[in-house]
Structure 1
């Protein structure tokens, strides 16, 4: 599907970071109550964590005060000690002791110190428990959101028109559905909890710092504008690279999927080196974009650490002067230094989270681009229906084109009676497969109509656009030249056409399609498990299974697009006999290149450039010696061409004049 043209296609909303981020967060709206609970648990957890340094500072004050008190004799008061120090010329020491609460000669109050330490341990244990519960709930919220997003993507894929899959590479689509959605989940999981905790920590720590020392708090606030400046400068450059990274990843996945699916063709034509060179080039582009994005966004963390260290030095110097001047206790300085670390650390973490957040939003843009793709036109409401045995199909002045510039089918009219077999022949590009796509409503006609009914009278004929697509396709069986089997047993693949069929009906369909003839030679019979590519069956056997699936579906309309091209001549004759039985009271459309397979068709349509140039049965068209006659005889001209092209002068040529 698709082609190389898509590889250079830009991502439509590559730089809409804020709108995409808001839309991404909106995916959590269904679990808003749990999000509120996560925030509440974060507030409690951070609040308890923020109290810790202040309590430890009080413990430090007790230890330091006890140590200082032992330096003075018992029986004197704190005021007397300070007065004596001031009188003896030790004013700095007196100022420092004035801010302390001690009793000369008492020593360390281990009872009070034990209570404080026990309280600190309890606070940190509770904070960890609340954080654990918060992480658990957030994990549920994010995974549920990703579950809903995958369902939306899956549902969207089923509503997309066939034209989307014609222009988008399968590997690129798979990359959006798998890699990008997984990356969104990982980004939300890692960033949401960290962002909530970091923001709450910054707010809580800032309040405690202002309570302890407004002067030191102002010094610490210098980090905020520097953090914002660094983050903005880095984010502007790295966002483009993250978008390019995931775009190139999708292209690389397309290359891998394409090469793996066609690895036999690659080897047959000796293109291994060319494929490896193309893979290496695209892999290099992924490396270049990924390296650039990770390197530039990785600058944030060391930059934040450098700013934090500068602030730490400033706080240590000014705090020391404050203690020496008696304006602060040593415990408060210790607590403030801890708060300064707690303040700069979440700012650094917020900066580093930009890395993951940008990557997640870049993936979200790609997924949202898929979700915003135009959908196929809605089914008619209310929808019309036809009798269950309806198999009379009419084309009435149908015109269709894939692009405005290039008309394909113009003014096509035909009538396919119930029980008839209509063969469609013509050169490549004449519109044969397009005709089938219009019958199945993979595309809708531009003008005219395709109608379905149970008789030629027209009394119950309904425009297929007035029916639901599911109703129309449920009446249709389709066998393509390219077989599609899924990973499962042969039984499962046949029953796919009619899941409620009985065992007898399944075996009857398999027998009619001559699957039963070879399936008993397999070790597990109908329970033989097929892999993704069904490589344990031959190409012809795979096609027989798809034919059996169509037999079992018992459709009123049957479409065969070169359905017997991969089987041997004897099996083809047997299948044609089985199809003759299947086509009773049904309408069959057969696309064929081997004209010998459609001799018994009731009506043969010869298409050229989207128009019917001839129609009739096999004998009539041969007698007319027109387009069909030329196509039929062209299949037997190759040996004669070889004789004509043979060198007359070659030995043994037997040429005559």
Structure 2
């Protein structure tokens, strides 16, 4: 345990940036449920107010019993004052003091009817209080669940408004951890803490009022230990707070590693990195363990500390209260009720201290979710793109475009290029030359630093991304198929397409030639990783999807780099049909696939070094010619 604590103490020193601000913001998430919240508060006040009256009534029942027992021992016919004087006359001053503080009738025994009525009243009050608390808990649960539905929707909507750069700079597993684990942890924390916090605060106030009506002195003895409890809680919480932040940060890192390893499981096995992956997992898992253990250990010290301090006041009240009963300053039933109130007063403080770890954990997760929600979004969407003028469909112009992922490193620099309508533009060059970046800029996954990209004379920065991207079909090297049927994966390109249109697109992309080899044909289900379909077949399905969308512009990014030669010929034929009457951009390392391109652009370090068709560039015997010789 010592090693774990030392490791936890040496964990990342990242602190909650704004614990109080994040907590307030989290509570404000309940604002849409203000009516339910007000009802919950009202029920809580009513239930607790009725509940705290119970000990006082039970104390009265105790007084009735005790008065009856003592009264039966006194001679009948005497008044209480005469009985007190008789006790003092025989030197029994202690009994006389006790008797003077009681409402006793000499010679009269226990009034069991009055005791029964008092106990029945207490029972009814406790039942009503329990009903109100149950209603409060039920309505609070409804309010919390509705709030979490709204938060999940906000996170989902935010994800779709985030720029591609956000996901490029973060591991997918870490983002998924914020969307799933952290949101679930917020829900758990809200459900557990809001009810207890609200109940505890109302209980403390109500009990404090009842204690003051019994004995201000005993109330002072009870309250005097509260600052000590708060000090202990604060001192311990300071140490555990940063550990909870580290816990959820380490959890996100562990999830990122798991997602990355499982998604590339075949590669991990192929290159014999299973042991290394397991070693990394063990390290990340140990980091989660160390930070979690330290957070839970230190926060777990809060409850024992507050219980110990609360017991000090409990002992003091018992001693002083016993003296007051003996001297007739307070009745036995009142001190019994007061001791119950002391327990009720200390219990909420202990509960709040005990759940502080849950609260801190929830706030740490809330900060991570709020950090995602506060991330800068893509620029606001302007008006939809106008229809292309007749006679100029799909003219694309890059005009003095410059772009960099980081301010000091240019990826594209002062690039100008024109793609005439219906032409095929092939972009070649070494890795890192900016080929894919050029396409990302055309799709507006990133915004240019300077210059313009125009489609049919319209600056794409002045139109909505949706209207722009709806005109572009894209076939990537890394095929993406979801867990559904082959038919559904093709229809994804245009969900409103008819069955005949989907089949026609499949035939144009040569999907129809192999799909009937499967028992279920087009209804064959594709696994999440697409492992039941070959790489070439997956690529043909994505081409069929692009064909179905009937794009004005077509982007082919290394579309034939991962298939065999025979399938490549099929893909080339499908591409030739797909490119007909469309402006197309082809990014390829296999130069054999771009010989028939209208324009071949050679990029190096973000600049165009050569431009022309295959024959022209071969005649120059420059960079393109050198590529064909390798």
Q: TM-score range by the shorter chain?
A: over 0.9
Q: Is the 8 A contact 1:11 1:247 kept in 2?
A: no
**Per the alignment, in what secondary structure is the counterpart of residue 176 of structure 1?**
helix
Measure, in 2, the Cα distance between the counterparts of 1:235 and 1:474: 53
Counterpart of 2:386?
385
Aligned positions of 1:113-192 closer than 5 A: 113-192=115-194
- 1:411 aligns to 2:414 (yes or no): yes
- Residues 1:334 and 1:10: Cα distance change in structure 2 (over 3 Å): closer
Q: Is the 8 A contact 1:379 1:465 kept in 2?
A: no
Counterpart of 2:4?
none
Counterpart of 1:527?
523
- Residues 1:110 and 1:531: Cα distance change in structure 2 (over 3 Å): farther
Q: CA deviation at 1:424?
A: 0.9
Counterpart of 2:55?
53
- Residues 1:275 and 1:384: Cα distance change in structure 2 (over 3 Å): closer
- 1:611 aligns to 2:607 (yes or no): yes
Q: Quick check: 192-201 or 306-315, which moved more?
A: 306-315
Q: CA deviation at 1:10?
A: 8.4
Counterpart of 1:282?
284
Alignment match of 1:200 (pick from 190, 199, 202): 202
Counterpart of 2:431?
428
Counterpart of 2:550?
554
Aligned positions of 1:403-552 closer than 5 A: 403-453=406-456, 461-552=457-548
Q: Is the 8 A contact 1:386 1:462 kept in 2?
A: no
Deviations 1:362-391 (A, max 9, x none): 1111111111212222233x5652428731
**Per the alignment, in what secondary structure is the counterpart of residue 608 of structure 2?**
strand
- 1:109 aligns to 2:111 (yes or no): yes
Q: Is the 8 A contact 2:241 2:295 kept in 1?
A: yes
Q: Is the 8 A contact 1:223 1:344 kept in 2?
A: no
Counterpart of 1:397?
400
Deviations 1:18-76 (A, max 9, x none): 11111111111111222121111110011011011101111111111122222224333
Q: Is the 8 A contact 2:385 2:467 kept in 1?
A: no
Q: Is the 8 A contact 2:506 2:541 kept in 1?
A: yes
**Per the alignment, in what secondary structure is the counterpart of residue 530 of structure 1?**
coil
**Per the alignment, in what secondary structure is the counterpart of residue 505 of structure 1?**
helix
Deviations 1:465-521 (A, max 9, x none): 111111100101111111112222222221111110001111111222222222222
Q: CA deviation at 1:564?
A: 2.3
Q: CA deviation at 1:527?
A: 2.3
Measure, in 2, the Cα distance between the counterparts of 1:350 and 1:171: 33
Measure, in 2, the Cα distance between the counterparts of 1:579 and 1:202: 75
TM score, norm. by length of structure 2: 0.95
**Per the alignment, in what secondary structure is the counterpart of residue 43 of structure 1?**
helix
Counterpart of 1:350?
352
Q: Quick check: 501-510 or 270-279, which moved more?
A: 270-279
Measure, in 2, the Cα distance between the counterparts of 1:278 and 1:443: 33
Q: Is the 8 A contact 1:11 1:366 kept in 2?
A: no
Counterpart of 1:457?
none
Deviations 1:306-326 (A, max 9, x none): 112111111111111011000
Q: CA deviation at 1:11?
A: 10
Q: Quick check: 20-29 or 151-160, which moved more?
A: 151-160
**Per the alignment, in what secondary structure is the counterpart of residue 588 of structure 1?**
strand
Deviations 1:151-194 (A, max 9, x none): 22222222222111111111111111111111111111100000
- Residues 1:345 and 1:157: Cα distance change in structure 2 (over 3 Å): same
Structure 2: gaps spanning 5 or more residues: 1-10
Alignment match of 1:66 (pick from 63, 68, 72): 68
Counterpart of 2:220?
218
Alignment match of 2:248 (pick from 230, 246, 249): 246
Q: Quick check: 153-162 or 340-349, which moved more?
A: 153-162
Counterpart of 1:236?
238
Q: CA RMSD in A?
A: 1.7
Aligned positions of 1:251-330 closer than 5 A: 251-330=253-332
Q: Is the 8 A contact 2:16 2:245 kept in 1?
A: yes
Q: Is the 8 A contact 2:15 2:245 kept in 1?
A: no
Q: CA deviation at 1:196?
A: 0.3
Counterpart of 2:95?
93
- 1:624 aligns to 2:625 (yes or no): no
